Structure 1
Amino acid sequence: MLQIGKFNHLEVVNQVPFGFYLDGGDMGQVLLPTNTVPQGCKVGDMLDVFIYHDSDDRIIATTKNPKAQVDQCAFLKVISITKVGAFLDWGLEKDLLVPFSEQDYPMAEGMSYVVYLFCDEETNRIAASTRLRDFLPEVATEFEPKQAVNLLICGRTDMGYKAVVNGSYLGLVFKDEIFKPIKIGYKLPGFIKRIREDGKIDLCFQFHDKEARGSLAEQIIEDLLAHGGLSTLTDKSPAEEISQRFNVSKAAYKKAIGGLFKQKRILLDKNKITLVENKG
C-alpha cells in the first residue's frame, strides 16, 4: 500500500513527455515529474521515491529528500502566513502547512519551530503541528538510566528544556543539568537520567555519579600535568570557561576537584589549583 509522506519503493511502468508513471498499487499510477527523474531511468526500474500531494493536490512522487517525513519531528522555518495557517520550508516544491488549529501559539514568518509531521486521516494530506504532546507520549517504560539517546530540543519551560527523545517521546532536561548554551532546534546526544514514578522521562547531558567524577578527576590531573602543575580554572571560575575546557557543568567540576583535594592530590586557593605531585 502506498504510504503518503514517506519513501516508497515503486516500479516505473510508463514513460510520458513530462516524466514517468510509477505503479502506486490501489492508488493507481503516480507521476514522477521530469525534474526529479534520475539519469538513465527506464520502464521496469525500481525507484525509492517520496510520495506527497503537489500544489494541485494530486498525489505525486519525487526523488528529492524532504527535511522530514510523516511521523518525524524537524526544526523548520516559516516562510509565509496565510488565512489557513503557516507554511514551512521542508525542502520540496509545495510548502508544508501548519493549520492554525495545530499551533500552540501563533507562528511568525521567518521564525523556526520544531514540528511533528502527520497525515490527516480525513484528507490524506500531509500537515505539521507544534502540539508535539498530541503525538508523542511523555510516559515511557522502555528506557533505562544512563541509556544513551538522541535529543532534539523542542521547547523551554520554567524548569528547563523539553526534548524529543529518539524521535518518539518527550522528556525534560532540568536547568541544573544544562552547562552550556542550548537553543530550540539543537540536536544533541544525551542520556536518560531517570524514569520518574509517573513514567515521565528526566534527561541529562552527563552524570554526576562516582564513576563520572572519577573520569573527570583524571582529566583534570592530565590537564594540570600539561600546564606545569598549575591551573587558574578554580571552583570560582565562570561556568562557561569550565564547560569550554572540560565539557561539564560547574557543579560536576566542583565535585571532582573537591574529591582530588580530599585525596591530597591537589591544593586549592581562590586563584589557582596546584598539583601536589609536582610540588617540591
Structure 2
Amino acid sequence: MNLGDFNDLEVVREVDFGLYLTSDDGDLLLPRKYVEPGTQIGDVVHVFVYRDSEDRLIATNLEPHARVGQFAALSVRDVSTTGAYLDWGLEKDLLLPYRNQRRNLRPGERVTVFVYLDEASDRIVASAKWEWFLSEQPYPGNVGDAANLFVAEETDLGFKMLVDGTHQGLVYHNEVFKPLRLGDVLTGFVRTIRPDGKLDLSLQRPGYDEALAATDTLLAALRAAPNGLLPLGDKSLADDVYRRLGMSKKVFKKALGALYKQGLVHLSPEHTQLLQAE
C-alpha cells in the first residue's frame, strides 16, 4: 500500500460508521460519509490513504491538492509550536514542520512545498525547501523548447519556476506581462541553460518563432473583431495588449509591422484595421 497516494483496496467488513478495507499494513477505515452507494463486501474501492489526527491509517475518496512526491502551492490554515498546518483538501491538515520552513509563516499565506513521506515517523509532511527535491541531472531539453512551468516563488529578480516538475528556472520581472500567483501552471520557453543547470525562461516563444506565432495570433484577433477593427495600436498600453492578445507590447509591434508589410492592415495610434479578408 502506498501511503499518501491512491490505492485499490478490498472491502472486508462493514460497521455502523463505515467500511474496513484490507491492506498489507492492516485493515483501515473508510468512513461512512465517503462510501459510495451500493458498495459491498468484496468490492475493490479506489481511495486515498493517509493518517488521521490520531495517526491511524484512514481512507477517503477526496482528492488532495497534492500527493506524496508532488509539488504544490498550499494555503496556511494555522501555525503552532510544531510548525504550520496547510490546507491540502483533506480533513486533517498537512504539517509543514519548522525545520522544513525557510521563514515563519502566517495563516492565509500561500507557500510552495514538496510533499513526502518522512521515513523516521512514517508521516506525510511538507517541505518549503522544495529545491532539495529537484533532479540533479542536467536538464534534458534544449534552448527554445517549450516547457511546463509552475510558479513556485517570487524574488527580487523575478519568478522562480518549476520546469517540467524536475528543474528550476527563472522568469525575469521584465518578461512578465500578467499577474502571476503561486501555483499557477503555464507554458513557457527555455531561453538559456546556465552552467549551474538552472534555466532562464520566457513566457513567449523566443526569436523568429515568437514573431510568427504573434503575427498569427494578431491576424486571428483581427478576423474575429467586428468589421476587422481591433482597438489596439502603436500607442496602446502594454497591459491592454497583453490582456487582449497575451503578448508583450514589443512583440505586438513586431507583429503589426509584419502585417503592415504584407499590406493586410491599416495602422492608427490606437487601433488596427484589417484591410484584406481571406
Instruction: Note whether the superposition's TM-score is higher than 0.5.
Output: yes
The equivalent residue for 2:165 is: 167
1:168 deviation in Å? Answer: 3.1
- Helix, strand or coil at the partner of 1:190: strand
After TM superposition, give the deviation of residue 181 of structure 1 in Å: 2.0
Q: SS where residue 103 of structure 2 aligns? A: coil
- Equivalent residue for 1:151, pick from 142, 149, 160: 149
> CA separation in 1, counterparts of 2:183 and 2:202?
17
| In the alignment, structure 1 residue 105 sits paired with structure 2 residue 92 | no
Task: Decide whether the 8 Å contact of 2:188 with 2:205 is kept in 1.
Answer: no
Whole-angstrom distance in 1 between the partners of 2:139 and 2:259: 37
Give the CA deviation at 1:258.
Answer: 4.0
1:22 alignment counterpart: 21
Distance 1:29 1:207 in 2: 52
CA distance in 1, matches of 2:240, 2:137: 36
Instruction: Name 2:125's counterpart in structure 1.
Output: 127
Once the two structures are TM-superposed, the CA of residue 127 in structure 1 deviates from its matched residue by 0.7
Q: Which runs of 5+ in 1 are unaligned?
A: none
Matched position secondary structure for 1:214 = helix
How far residue 266 of structure 1 moved from its aligned partner, in angstroms, is: 6.0
CA drift at 1:81: 0.8
Residue 250 (structure 1) aligns with: 249
Q: Which residue of 1 aligns with 2:205?
A: 207
Q: Secondary structure at the match of 2:239?
A: helix
8 Å Cα contact 1:138-1:200 kept in structure 2: no
Cα shift readout 1:248-272 (whole Å, capped 9, x = no counterpart): 0122123333445566766767666
Report the Cα distance in structure 1 between the residues aligned to 2:76 and 2:154, rounded to whole angstroms.
19
> Shift in Å at residue 29 of structure 1?
1.5
Of 123-132 and 151-160, deviating more is 151-160
Q: Distance in 2 between matches of 1:64 and 1:212?
A: 41
Q: Secondary structure at the match of 2:55?
A: coil
Change over 3 Å in CA distance of 1:42–1:268 after alignment to 2: closer
Determine the C-alpha separation between the residues in 2 that align with 1:272 and 1:56.
64
- Find the residue that maps to 1:216 and give its secondary structure: helix
The answer to whether structure 1 residue 12 and structure 2 residue 11 are counterparts is yes
Q: In 2, Cα distance between the equivalents of 1:97 and 1:140?
A: 32
Root mean square deviation, CA, Å:
2.7
Residue type of the alignment partner of 2:246: N
Aligned to 1:87: 85
Sequence identity (%): 40
What letter matches 2:76 in structure 1?
V
Cα 1:16–1:208 change in 2 (3 A) is same
Question: What's the secondary structure of 2:177's corresponding residue?
Answer: coil
Does the Cα contact within 8 Å between 1:260 and 1:266 map onto a contact in 2? yes
- SS at 2:204's partner residue? coil
Taking structure 2 as the reference length, the TM-score comes to 0.86
CA 1:152 to 1:220, structure 2 compared with 1: closer, same or farther past 3 Å? closer
Post-superposition Cα deviations, 1:159-198, rounded to whole Å, max 9, x if no partner, equal 2111122333322212232122222232223333343343
Which structure 2 segments of 5+ residues have no match? none
Aligned partner of residue 126 in structure 1, secondary structure: strand
Alignment-mate amino acid for residue 9 of structure 2? L
